[in-house]
């Protein structure tokens, strides 16, 4: 007998994504599945307090949802909505089991992250369908207008249906091609929460937590090295959350953070996932980035950081992803291992790259190395350039503070 | 499902080809159509003459307006199309990726739409 309403809320939290992912497969339509799921939960609220909670609540909810969905298709056939569901839905109610529910969640994630959808749509759909956020929550999380976001989700669902994007997990041979796309969406969600590209708040705890939760689900469903690596990376980065900002919201660099504020539980968990990731070869880019984050997490003080190891890890990462941003990070690591002048020499080589000229962190890194090297005037110019390019509030204030410190000291 | 694969490329790339390269590309396409037919994926298809042969037709206020050139001047030109029968978008994309000009042009894949039955 249920006497407490919160119970149903908890079941909704735990079960709604599992129920939804299976209903999408059984009913063949996102919107219909969502309506049917809501009806199933409504029925549970009415029936369970009277009849008791069924032995297998997930199975009950799926069966009830499927029945409602089928009824609706039959009713709608004459009325023409859902007329695209031409085939008669199987009247046989299938008994859902753990394995199929498990596979359905993966199907849903791979469909939400399908490369034929725009990246914006993939992020929005994943947050909406996989993380169970409302359209309003997704919109506020992504700093977009709810109407724009709702429109984008409607369009994406229409494309899934009309272009025939299949509701399936890619076969093993396609997985290496498709998995990075899914991981990218999860990491974008994390970063969107962790460090905004504009606005005044440095991080939004919820989106980062959603991304971590999603990666935990994926790690259980799809035990691949890079899934573990991404999860480790996010846990290790997230462990520094309390130390990244002072009370006024000012950004604090890794070097100056109070390391006692780092979340040990998150670090320990990150290390465990990293170990699992490293046990699987080949070592992919997320695992390498997690390894770099782990070197920082391992150092009790900034001056004890094993920069030689970080440089080696960046070398390996650059081999896999020869991007200017990784080259920039590698140059900074070399400066820390050797001297600022060595790092600066590498940065000069990168100057000619177009992507670097407009990247505020490049100029900020250059300014920092020039400052360490005692070239105050040059550092000032580089900070000015970085400031001209930065949009985010806390990062902007950080650069302004650094620039002011230079002026005071000279 | 039926999908149309629209083949686009920069005609300048074709114009720069030697006779032999152009011949080889065409033979590769012929073999590709043969393979698609055997697999049961090929419904129909047609390569097109270069875009400078295009004529655009519009009817405005019941008047037929004819103009020289394609509908839109784009960097890549429509070079032909395939009508394919594929199970879903994943299969259609996989088939399109084997169309030879995908290597230097691009293939737009669109699901076909059926006209409603006559009233």
Q: State pLDDT tens for residues B92-104.
A: 999 999 999 999 9
For A115, nearest residue in chain B (alpha carbons): B90
Size of interface A-B (CB pairs under 8 A): 24
Is the CB of B114 inside 8 Å of chain A's CB atoms? no
State the smallest CA–CA distance between residue B116 and chain A in angstroms.
12
Q: Is B60 part of any domain? A: yes
Structural domain count of chain B: 1
Mutation choice for B interface testing from A28, A164, A177 by most B CBs within 10 A: A164
For A168, nearest residue in chain B (alpha carbons): B90
Q: Is B119 part of any domain? A: no
Helix (H) or strand (E) holding B27: helix B19-39
The encoded tokens of residue A212 equal 């971590």
Chain B residues closer than 8 Å to A116 by CB = 89, 93
Interchain proximity A164–B93, CB inside 8 Å: no
What's residue A82's pLDDT? Answer: 61
Q: Is B59 part of any domain? A: yes
Chain A residues closer than 8 Å to B5 by CB = none
What's residue A203's pLDDT? Answer: 47
Q: Is B92 part of any domain? A: yes
What's residue A355's pLDDT? Answer: 80
Give chain A's largest Cα–Cα span: 81
CATH number of the domain bearing residue B63: 3.30.70.1060
Residue range A6-88, CATH number: 1.10.1740
Backbone dihedral angles phi then psi of residue A83, each to the nearest 5 degrees: -70, -15
Mean pLDDT over each residue of chain B, to the nearest integer: 93
Q: Is B116 part of any domain? A: no
Nearest to B100 by CA among B83, B88, B112, B82: B82
What's residue A47's pLDDT? Answer: 93
Strands (E), B10-119: 42-47, 55-60, 63-68, 77-85, 106-111
Angle at A340 between CA A334 and CA A342, to 5 degrees: 55
Residues 6+ apart with CB under 8 A from A235: A212, A266, A267, A269, A270, A273
Q: Is B101 part of any domain? A: yes
Lowest mean per-residue pLDDT among A60-64, A367-371, B60-64, B80-84: B60-64
Q: Is B45 part of any domain? A: yes
What's residue A6's pLDDT? Answer: 75
Q: Using the predicted structure, report yes or no on whether residue B41 has a pLDDT greater than 70.
A: yes
Q: Is B117 part of any domain? A: no
DSSP 8-state assignment for residue A370:
H
Q: Rounded distance, CA B20 to CA A148, Å?
A: 52
Nearest to A218 by CA among A33, A13, A21: A21
Is the CB of A165 inside 8 Å of chain B's CB atoms? yes
The encoded tokens of residue A206 equal 């919820």
Q: Rounded distance, CA B30 to CA A237, Å?
A: 54
Interchain proximity A163–B87, CB inside 8 Å: no
Interchain proximity B111–A166, CB inside 8 Å: no
Each of the 410 residues of chain A gets a pLDDT tens digit; together they read 455 667 778 888 888 999 999 999 999 899 899 999 999 999 999 999 899 889 999 999 999 999 999 998 888 776 666 655 545 555 566 677 888 888 899 999 999 999 999 989 999 999 999 988 888 888 887 878 899 999 999 999 999 998 999 998 888 888 888 899 899 999 988 987 765 544 455 445 478 888 999 999 999 989 999 999 999 999 999 999 889 888 877 889 899 999 999 999 999 999 999 999 999 988 999 999 999 999 999 999 999 999 999 999 999 999 999 988 899 999 999 999 999 999 999 999 998 888 888 888 999 999 999 999 999 999 999 999 999 998 777 788 889 998 998 888 76
The residue range of the domain holding B100 is 2-111
Q: Is A164 left (phi over 0), alpha (psi -120 to 50) or beta?
A: left
Q: Rounded distance, CA A301 to CA A255, Å?
A: 8
For B86, nearest residue in chain A (alpha carbons): A164
Domain ranges of chain A: 6-88
What's residue A390's pLDDT? Answer: 86
């Amino acid at each position: 007998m249920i006497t407490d309403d919160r119970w149903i809320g908890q079941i909704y939290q735990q079960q709604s994504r599992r129920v939804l992912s299976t209903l999408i497969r059984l009913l063949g339509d996102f919107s219909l599945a969502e309506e049917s799921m809501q009806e199933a939960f409504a029925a549970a609220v009415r029936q369970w307090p009277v009849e008791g909670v069924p032995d297998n609540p997930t199975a009950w909810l799926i069966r009830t949802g499927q029945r409602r969905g089928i009824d609706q298709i039959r009713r709608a056939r004459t009325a023409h909505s859902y007329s695209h569901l031409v085939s008669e839905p199987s009247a046989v109610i299938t008994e859902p089991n753990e394995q199929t529910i498990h596979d359905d969640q993966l199907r849903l994630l791979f469909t939400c992250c399908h490369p034929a959808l725009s990246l914006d749509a993939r992020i929005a759909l994943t947050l909406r369908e996989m993380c169970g956020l409302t359209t309003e929550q997704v919109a506020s999380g992504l700093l977009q207008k709810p109407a724009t976001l709702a429109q984008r989700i409607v369009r994406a669902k229409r494309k899934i249906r009309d272009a025939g994007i299949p509701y399936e997990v890619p076969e093993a041979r396609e997985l290496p091609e498709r998995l990075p796309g899914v991981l990218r969406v999860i990491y974008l969600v994390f970063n969107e929460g962790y460090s905004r590209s504009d606005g005044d708040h440095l991080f939004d705890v919820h989106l980062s937590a959603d991304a971590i939760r999603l990666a935990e689900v994926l790690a259980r469903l799809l035990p691949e090295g890079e899934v573990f690596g991404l999860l480790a990376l996010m846990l290790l980065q997230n462990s520094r959350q309390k130390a990244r900002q002072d009370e006024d919201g000012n950004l604090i660099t890794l070097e100056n953070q109070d390391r006692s504020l780092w979340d040990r539980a998150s670090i320990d968990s990150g290390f465990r996932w990293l170990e699992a990731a490293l046990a699987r070869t080949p070592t992919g880019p997320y695992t390498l980035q997690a390894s770099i984050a782990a070197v920082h997490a391992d150092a009790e003080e900034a001056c004890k950081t094993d920069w030689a190891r970080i440089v080696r890890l960046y070398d390996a990462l650059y081999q896999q992803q020869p991007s200017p941003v990784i080259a920039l990070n590698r140059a900074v690591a070399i400066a820390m291992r050797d001297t600022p002048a060595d790092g600066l020499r590498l940065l000069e080589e990168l100057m000619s790259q177009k992507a670097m000229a407009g990247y505020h962190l490049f100029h900020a890194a250059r300014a920092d190395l020039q400052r360490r090297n005692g070239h105050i005037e040059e550092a000032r110019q580089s900070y000015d350039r970085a400031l001209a390019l930065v949009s985010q509030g806390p990062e902007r204030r950080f650069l302004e503070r650094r620039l002011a410190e230079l002026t005071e000291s000279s | 499902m039926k999908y149309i694969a629209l083949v686009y490329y920069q005609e300048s790339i074709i114009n720069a080809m030697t006779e032999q390269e152009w011949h080889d590309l065409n033979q590769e396409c012929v073999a590709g159509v043969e393979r698609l037919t055997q697999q049961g994926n090929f419904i129909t298809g047609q390569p097109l003459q270069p875009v400078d042969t295009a004529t655009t037709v519009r009817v405005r206020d019941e008047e037929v307006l004819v103009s020289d050139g394609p509908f839109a001047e784009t960097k890549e030109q429509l070079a032909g199309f395939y009508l394919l029968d594929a199970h879903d978008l994943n299969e259609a994309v996989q088939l399109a990726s084997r169309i030879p000009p995908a290597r230097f042009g691009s293939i737009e894949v669109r699901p076909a739409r059926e006209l409603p039955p006559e009233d």
